[in-house]
Amino acid sequence: MAYWLFKSEPDVFGIRHLRARPEQTEPWDGVRNYQARNFLRDEVSAGDKLFFYHSSCKQVGIAGVAEVVRAAYPDPSQFNPESDYYDPKATTASPRWYCVDVRFCEQFKQVLSLARIKAMPQITELGLVKKGHRLSVMPVTIDEWQHLYTAAGETL
DNA sequence: GCCAACGTTGGC
DNA sequence: GCCAACGTTGGC
């Protein structure tokens, strides 16, 4: 099992939205970056866990945990001209973009803020704090996962 | 809203 | 294949 960090803008789709879904499950679609796509398509597997990160909002940071319940399949939104994520160059015969299905696991009582993450001595290699910090899907090592998860559980 | 740090596009 | 111009992300 592998660990990941997925970013989303909570004003568009946050962990509360996932939690409120009937099956607490949702396709993670709209990834339109090749490096992130490659992680999604080639490495993210059912059973993997991910940190649900809130970006571009008041409380920037890790909001909770979800798990992958279905591995990569073609992202339907690329074929939909009505969608913001429509890609006219994508065809069903050769899809360009992929999505996975995720299910809610846990919402932290308090968002683990980016400031706190950056202040953690154990977190120096994570994409969030290094180059490529714009990547919307990034791997997390088991050590990083444990440190971050522990930090999220500590009250200030 | 600003701006740094990327990623993508397209002319040559 | 290079690289300038442009677009996007995302913290602040």
pTM equals 0.93
> Is residue A18 a contact partner of residue A68, using CB atoms and an 8 Å limit?
no
Tell me what the mean pLDDT of segment A77-88 comes to.
89
| Per-residue CA distances from A52 to A47, A90, A91 (Å) | 15, 28, 30
Whether A84 has a pLDDT exceeding 80, the answer reads yes
Confidence of residue A89 (pLDDT cuts 50, 70, 90): confident
Q: Read off the tokens for A8.
A: 């989303």
Kindly report the backbone phi and psi dihedral angles of residue A85, in degrees, each rounded to the nearest multiple of 5, phi listed first: -100, 10
Within 7 Å: CB of A8 and strand C?
no
Residue pair A2/A141 in contact (Cβ under 8 Å)? The answer is no
- The pLDDT score that the predictor gives to residue A70 is 97
Gap between the Cα atoms of A121 and A62, Å rounded: 17
- Average pLDDT of A124-141? 80
Å from the A149 CA to the B2 C1': 33
Q: Which pLDDT belongs to residue A156?
A: 58
Would you give the DSSP letter of residue A94? S
CA of A123 to C1' of B12 (A): 44
At residue A155 the predicted structure's pLDDT band, cuts being 50, 70 and 90, is: low
- What is the residue extent of each domain of chain A? 3-151
Cα A116 to Cα A87: distance, rounded to the nearest angstrom:
37
Give me the residues near strand B, CB below 7 A: A 33-35, 131-135
| Nucleotide closest to residue A136 (CA–C1') | C9
Query: What is the predicted pLDDT for the residue at A47?
Result: 97
Tell me the nt nearest to A132, Cα to C1'.
B6
Nucleotides of C under 7 A from a protein CB: 8-12
Q: Is the pLDDT of residue A144 over 90?
A: yes
Residue A45 confidence (pLDDT): 97
Determine the CATH number of domain A3-151: 3.10.590.10
Exposure string for A7-41, b = 16+ CB within 10 A, e = fewer:
bbebeeebbeebeeeeeeebebbbbbeeebbebbb
Report, as an integer, the average pLDDT of A30-54: 95
The reported pLDDT for the residue numbered A55 is 94
